[in-house]
C-alpha cells in the first residue's frame, strides 16, 4: 500500500518539475527580450520577470527536482528487478540528461538574474523543446518497458523534434510579420 503512495508522489513531482522547467525557460525568453527593450520598459520588466523566475525556480522547480529524485529512488528500491531490464537503463540515462538540462537551466537562470543574456530568445525557444523530447522519451520507456518499442518511439521523437523545429521557425516568421 505504501508503494502506491510513493509512486503517486513520484509522478506528481515529475509533473510539477516539468511544469517548472517548461515555464522557467519561457520566462528566460521574456527576460532576454526584456533586456533588449528601451531603458524605461527594461526598468519595469526586468525586476518583475526576475522575481517571477526566482519564485518559480526556487519555489517549485528545484524542490520538485529534488523530490522527484528522492521518490524515484524509493520507487526503484521497490522495483529493483527492473534494473535487470534494458529499458530501465535507457530511462535512467534520459533522466540523467534531464538533470543535465536542469543544471544548464540553473546556469542560465543565474546569468539572467545578473542581467546577462548569452542565448537569444530564439535559441531559448529551441532549448525549451529539449525538455519536451526528454519527457516523451522517459514516458514511453516507462510505459512500454521495451527497448524495441522505444526504438520506434525514438524515431517518432525525431519526427516530433523536426515538427517542433518547423513550428518554431513558422512562429518566428509570423512574429516577424507582425
* Pick from 139, 120, 151, 129: nearest CA to 28: 120
Query: Exposure of 164 by Cβ count < 10 A (0-12 exposed, 13-18 middle, 19+ buried)?
Result: middle
Q: Is 89 marked as binding a ligand?
A: no
Q: Quote the CA–CA distance of 174 and 162 in Å, as a whole number.
A: 18
Q: Is 91 marked as binding a ligand?
A: yes
Query: Exposure of 125 by Cβ count < 10 A (0-12 exposed, 13-18 middle, 19+ buried)?
Result: buried
Q: Which three cell numbers stand for residue 46?
A: 526586468
User: Cβ(56)–Cβ(27) under 8 Å?
Assistant: yes
Q: Quote the CA–CA distance of 140 and 152 in Å, as a whole number.
A: 10
Q: Which three cell numbers stand for residue 171?
A: 512562429
Q: Write out the binding residues for heme.
A: 10, 91
Q: Write out the binding residues.
A: 10, 91
Amino acid at each position: 500500500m505504501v508503494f502506491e503512495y510513493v509512486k503517486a508522489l513520484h509522478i506528481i513531482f515529475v509533473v510539477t518539475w516539468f511544469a517548472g522547467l517548461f515555464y522557467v525557460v519561457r520566462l528566460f525568453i521574456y527576460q532576454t527580450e526584456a533586456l533588449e527593450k528601451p531603458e524605461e520598459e527594461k526598468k519595469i520588466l526586468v525586476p518583475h520577470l526576475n522575481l517571477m523566475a526566482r519564485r518559480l525556480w526556487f519555489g517549485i522547480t528545484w524542490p520538485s527536482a529534488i523530490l522527484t529524485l528522492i521518490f524515484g529512488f524509493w520507487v526503484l528500491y521497490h522495483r529493483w528487478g527492473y534494473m535487470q531490464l534494458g529499458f530501465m537503463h535507457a530511462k535512467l540515462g534520459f533522466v540523467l540528461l534531464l538533470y543535465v538540462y536542469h543544471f544548464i537551466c540553473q546556469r542560465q537562470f543565474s546569468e539572467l538574474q545578473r542581467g546577462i543574456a548569452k542565448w537569444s530568445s530564439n535559441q531559448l525557444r529551441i532549448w525549451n523543446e529539449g525538455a519536451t523530447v526528454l519527457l516523451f522519451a522517459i514516458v514511453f520507456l516507462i510505459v512500454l518497458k521495451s527497448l524495441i518499442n522505444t526504438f520506434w518511439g525514438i524515431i517518432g521523437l525525431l519526427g516530433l523534434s523536426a515538427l517542433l523545429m518547423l513550428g518554431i521557425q513558422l512562429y518566428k516568421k509570423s512574429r516577424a510579420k507582425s
